[in-house]
């Protein structure tokens, strides 16, 4: 199996390097291009056996799986360019949430899927969100097995695309922000140094992840174990209960509002908005 990547920005590069590290794909089986050609050329300097091309059309001629790793509003014109070169045995895979598989297959005649990755996939961990359009059983299996090497693939439908992406793809940034605020407050309010607070917090988060992975505790039971009645943890939880308020409700409201805007803009290109 070989794969092409149109777009080698942050997420395109993360996927390429994760697949190489997991040995799911050999560099010689990967074909890349980027609008800013130097980005793709710099990536090949790191992995000299990557196949580097000047245009997306060349990727379409070479790859079985074609990952579209560009901005949402760039996808429709790109698909129009690629369409004459695509074969039925190929599969277009978009990694952006506002583009539905129905919109993809309204432009191209090959197989289509959407996979929303996470930065955690770079550590060969976390979740990837899969939605299949016109796809053979064998192609679905190939895509699922490919993403099993770097993540836990989770199939979703359009109704929960945004919230799932908020949790899986945006979640690392959201909780990194909260942890940074946690660290900054510790430094301001106590004698701990920034380096000490960062190290302790990082180790705590890694340990928490491993504890959840072991399935010894769920999130609620873990909190119960740590939060002894009348203890220090309980005091801290009471502050969070009173001061966090509806922050996460507001977060999801804001991300869904932006998502609706993106859907409208993309829908105008594809000729419909649902």
| pLDDT at position 273 over 60 | no
Does 230 score more than 80 pLDDT?
no
Q: Which tokens is 153 given?
A: 């693939």
Cα–Cα dist 148/22, whole Å: 10
C-alpha 274/C-alpha 270 separation (Å) is 11
Predicted pLDDT at 24? 97
> pTM to 2 decimals?
0.92
pLDDT at 274 over 50: no
Judged on CB neighbours under 10 Å (0-12, 13-18, 19+), 37 is middle
Please report how many Cα atoms fall inside a 13 Å half-sphere around the Cα of residue 90, on the Cβ side. 24
Residue 116 and residue 92 in contact, taking contact as beta carbons nearer than 8 Å: no
Residue 271: predicted pLDDT: 80
Q: Find the length of the chain.
A: 274
pLDDT tens digits along 193-229: 999 999 999 999 999 999 999 988 898 888 888 887 6
The predicted structure's pLDDT at residue 75: 97
**Least confident piece of the model among 28-37, 148-157, 227-236:** 227-236
pLDDT (0 to 100) of residue 272: 57
Each residue's pLDDT tens digit, 20-35: 999 999 999 999 999 9
Burial class (CB in 10 A: 0-12, 13-18, 19+), 178: exposed
Average pLDDT rounded to a whole number, residues 175-201:
98
Give 159: exposed, middle or buried? Use CB within 10 Å, 0-12, 13-18, 19+.
Answer: exposed
Query: 79-116 pLDDT, tens per residue?
Result: 999 999 999 999 999 999 999 999 999 999 999 999 99
Mean pLDDT, rounded, for 145-164: 97
How confident is the model at residue 18, as a pLDDT?
A: 98
């Amino acid at each position: 199996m070989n794969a092409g990547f149109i777009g080698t920005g942050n997420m395109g590069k993360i996927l390429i390097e994760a697949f190489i590290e997991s040995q799911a794909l050999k560099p010689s089986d990967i074909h890349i291009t980027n609008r800013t050609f130097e980005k793709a050329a710099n990536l090949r300097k790191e992995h000299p056996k990557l196949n580097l091309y000047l245009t997306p059309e060349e990727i379409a001629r070479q790859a079985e799986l074609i990952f579209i790793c560009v901005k949402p509003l760039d996808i429709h014109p790109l698909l129009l360019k690629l369409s004459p070169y695509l074969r039925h045995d190929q599969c277009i895979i978009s990694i952006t949430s506002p583009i539905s598989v129905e919109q993809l297959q309204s432009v191209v005649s090959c197989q289509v899927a959407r996979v929303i990755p996470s930065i955690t996939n770079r550590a060969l961990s976390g979740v990837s969100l899969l939605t299949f359009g016109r796809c053979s059983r064998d192609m679905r299996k190939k895509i699922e097995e490919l993403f099993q090497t770097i993540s836990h693939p989770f199939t979703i439908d359009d109704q929960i695309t945004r919230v799932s992406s908020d949790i899986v793809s945006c979640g690392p940034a959201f909780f990194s922000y909260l942890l940074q605020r946690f660290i900054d407050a510790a430094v301001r309010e106590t004698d701990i140094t920034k380096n000490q607070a960062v190290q302790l917090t990082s180790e705590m988060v890694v340990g928490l992840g491993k504890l959840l992975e072991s399935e010894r505790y769920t999130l609620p039971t873990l909190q119960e174990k740590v939060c002894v009645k009348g203890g220090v943890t309980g005091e801290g939880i009471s502050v969070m209960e009173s001061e966090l308020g509806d922050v996460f409700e507001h977060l999801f409201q804001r991300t869904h509002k932006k998502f609706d805007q993106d859907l409208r803009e993309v829908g105008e290109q594809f000729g419909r908005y649902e």
